[in-house]
């Protein structure tokens, strides 16, 4: 088999890249080691920056997003029961949209299927070859038969544990990482959300988040130790703990119910540098991980592949390598700004093992500064709704 761009990974990053290239007439093949049902079964966040929404529109998959997505003009922060709303639209004229990552993936899958573009699921033993020269290829096994794809470029959109980054010689790549000593215990429940916008809450007992997926499905989180076992948390215990960490009005209006999904997500910051190795590019979780606090994971992946698609289209249309040569530096600049913002939100909203009375006063001062300073509030709004690439 032969194609122009072989994409490893059929998550939202790989599918969006494939769709953007397809719209520009660039042939792609996507390889995914899991089944289609498994990919769609992943429960992920879904706060989309305005730029991500615009990119999905460009890819021609925005119809259901605009019909079902919830446009939010701002968010609320709560510190020991004291709540304040930040109005992004009033501050900088931008918004975010709540639309589940699963639904983004579904829309991209359906568009690719309708176009007849090739996606190979359950591809085993994927290996990357020759990307340091001008004849890269990808080998894989499907139904016991070995196959090879000859291509011009390979893009690794296969996540933190994927084969793409692991294929890069250790001497050629540098990684930066911070692992946080806590995770988020989250539940999904078919009940109306407690508020129209997200509520991020800091409490001495730990962080909490009130979020949603739709007008009838809610997502809630509480901070727990990194080694916490989800089996130790009944639904009743979760709801009791959540009520302790939010303000009284929110606690009184919570509509509880049986969880339909419950899991603990670890928190990690991770960046790999560079993101280009000859004819291999890394994007999305293969390139970086951010804590979920700033809602940057999917949005960073989208901006990565948006930039990479532009660069590859320029290469084929104009025979110019300027875009692909500049890809790594261009996206890493935005990645590190998002890492900073996610780290900052994590640091002010969570209780760390070393948090003492002085540290909590500093966190409180940060909250008070945010709500009293238009400049600080605008900075929050700019970063949360998405910085330009």
- Do both 136 and 186 map to the same domain? no
| Mean pLDDT value of segment 161-171 | 97
pLDDT exceeds cutoff 90 at 253: yes
Catalytic residue among 203, 288, 296, 350: 296
Residue 81 lies in a domain: no
The Cα 230–Cα 304 span in angstroms is 33
Q: 138 φ, ψ to 5°? A: -130, 130
Catalytic residue among 262, 292, 327, 350: 292
Answer yes or no: is 128 within a domain: yes
Q: Tell whether 203 and 218 lie within a shared domain.
A: yes
Each residue of 128-146: pLDDT tens digit?
999 999 999 999 999 999 9
Q: Which CA distances in Å does 100 have to 44, 45, 68, 75?
A: 7, 6, 10, 17
Nearest to 16 by CA among 194, 182, 155: 155
Does 109 lie in the same domain as 241? no
Are both 220 and 308 inside the same structural domain?
no
- Overall domain count for the chain: 2
Stronger pLDDT, 102 or 43, i.e. the higher one: 102
In angstroms, how far is CA 87 from the centroid of its own chain?
23
59 with 22, same domain? yes
pLDDT at 41: 85
Same domain membership, residue 12 and residue 125: yes
Domain assignment of residue 87, yes or no: no
* Distance from C-alpha of 272 to C-alpha of 153, rounded to nearest angstrom: 19
| Residues whose CB is less than 8 angstroms from the CB of residue 319 and which lie 6 or more positions away in sequence, other chains included | none
In a shared domain, residues 245 and 152: no
Q: Is there a single domain that holds both residue 114 and residue 217?
A: no
Q: Is the pLDDT of residue 389 over 90?
A: no
Question: What pLDDT was estimated at residue 42?
Answer: 79
240 pLDDT above the threshold of 90: yes
Question: What does the pLDDT read at residue 46?
Answer: 86
Residue 82 resides in a domain: no
Mean confidence (pLDDT) of the chain: 97
Task: Indicate which CATH number applies to the domain containing 223.
Answer: 3.30.9.10
Determine whether 183 is exposed, middle or buried from the number of CB atoms within 10 Å of its CB (0-12, 13-18, 19+). buried
CATH assignment at residue 293 = 3.50.50.60
Are 139 and 189 within one domain?
no
* Of 72, 203, 262, 350, catalytic: 72
- Please give the torsion angle defined by the CA atoms of residues 204, 236, 75 and 347, in that order, rounded to the nearest 10 degrees: 30
242-264: average pLDDT: 97
Question: 64 and 149: one domain?
Answer: yes
**pLDDT band for position 176 (50/70/90)?**
very high
For residue 37, is it within any domain? yes
Active site residue 72: yes
220 shares its domain with 358? yes
User: Is residue 184 very low, low, confident or very high in pLDDT (cuts 50, 70, 90)?
Assistant: very high
Rounded mean pLDDT, 190-213: 97
Under DSSP, is residue 234 helix (H, G, I), strand (E, B) or coil? coil
Is residue 88 in a domain?
A: no
- Asked, for residue 242, whether it belongs to a domain, the answer is yes
pLDDT confidence band for 218 (50 / 70 / 90): very high
Residue 305, CA atoms < 13 Å, CB-side half-sphere: 36
Task: Tell me if residue 384 is catalytic.
Answer: yes
**Nearest Cα to Cα of residue 9 among 147, 140, 180:** 140
Q: Which two tokens stand for residue 227?
A: 């080694």
Q: Give which of 138, 63, 170, 46 is closest to 98, Cα–Cα.
A: 46
Do 170 and 273 share a domain, yes or no? yes
**pLDDT, tens only, 75-84:** 999 999 999 9
Joined tokens for residue 225: 């130790």
Q: Is 254 helix (H, G, I), strand (E, B) or coil?
A: coil
Choose, from 99, 140, 180, 200, the residue flagged as catalytic: 200
Question: How many CA within 13 A on the CB side of residue 257?
Answer: 14
Structural tokens at position 91: 């501050």
Cα Rg, the chain, nearest whole Å: 21
pLDDT score at 295: 92
Q: Is 129 a catalytic residue?
A: no
Query: Do 93 and 216 touch, CB atoms closer than 8 A?
Result: no
pLDDT digits (tens, 9 = 90+) for 260-312: 999 999 999 999 999 999 999 999 999 999 999 989 999 999 999 999 999 99
Contacts 24+ apart (CB under 8 A), 362-368: 363/79, 363/202, 364/79, 364/80, 367/77, 367/79, 367/82, 367/84, 367/202
C-alpha 56/C-alpha 71 separation (Å) is: 15
Q: What is the pLDDT of residues 27-76, one digit of tens each?
A: 999 999 999 999 998 777 789 999 999 999 999 999 999 999 999 999 99
Residue range(s) defining the domain that contains residue 210:
180-267+350-385
User: For residue 315, what pLDDT is reported?
Assistant: 98
Please check whether residue 84 lies inside any domain of the structure: no
Buried/exposed 9-25: b ≥16 CB within 10 Å, e otherwise: bbbbbbbbbbbbbbeee
The answer on pLDDT for 106 being more than 90 is yes
State the pLDDT at residue 44.
75
CA angle 376, 84, 350 (to 5 degrees): 80
């Amino acid at each position: 088999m032969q194609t122009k761009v072989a994409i490893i990974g059929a998550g939202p990053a790989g599918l969006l890249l494939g769709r953007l290239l397809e719209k520009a007439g660039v042939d792609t093949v996507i390889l995914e080691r899991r089944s289609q049902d498994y990919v769609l079964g992943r429960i992920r966040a879904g706060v989309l920056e305005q730029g991500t929404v615009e990119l999905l529109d460009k890819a021609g998959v925005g119809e259901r997003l605009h019909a079902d997505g919830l446009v939010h003009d701002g968010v609320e922060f709560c510190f020991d029961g004291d709540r304040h709303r930040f109005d992004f639209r009033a501050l900088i004229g931008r918004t975010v949209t709540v639309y589940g990552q699963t639904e983004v993936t579904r829309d991209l899958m359906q568009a690719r299927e309708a176009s007849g573009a090739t996606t190979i699921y359950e591809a085993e033993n994927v290996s990357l070859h020759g990307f340091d020269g001008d004849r890269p290829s990808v080998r894989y096994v499907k139904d016991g038969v070995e196959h090879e794809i000859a291509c011009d470029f390979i893009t690794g959109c296969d996540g933190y544990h994927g084969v793409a980054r692991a294929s890069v010689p250790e001497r050629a790549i540098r990684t930066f990482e911070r692992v946080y000593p806590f995770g988020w215990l989250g539940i999904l429940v078919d009940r109306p959300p407690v508020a129209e916008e997200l509520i991020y809450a800091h409490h001495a007992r730990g962080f909490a988040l009130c979020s949603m997926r739709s007008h009838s499905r809610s997502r809630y989180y509480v901070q727990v130790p990194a080694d916490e076992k989800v089996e130790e948390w009944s639904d009743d215990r979760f709801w009791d703990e959540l009520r302790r960490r939010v303000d009284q009005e929110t606690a009184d209006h919570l509509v509880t119910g049986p969880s339909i999904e419950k899991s603990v997500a670890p928190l990690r910051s991770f960046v790999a540098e560079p993101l280009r190795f000859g004819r291999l590019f890394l994007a999305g979780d293969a390139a970086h991980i951010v804590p979920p606090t700033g809602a940057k994971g999917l949005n960073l992946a989208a901006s990565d592949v948006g930039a990479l698609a532009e660069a590859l289209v320029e290469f084929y249309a104009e025979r110019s390598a300027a875009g692909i040569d500049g890809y790594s530096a261009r996206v890493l600049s935005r990645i590190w700004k998002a890492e900073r913002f996610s780290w900052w939100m994590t640091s002010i909203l969570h209780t760390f093992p070393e948090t003492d009375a002085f540290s909590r006063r500093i966190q409180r001062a940060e909250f008070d500064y945010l709500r009293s300073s238009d400049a600080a509030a605008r900075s929050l709004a700019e970063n949360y709704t998405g910085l330009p690439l």
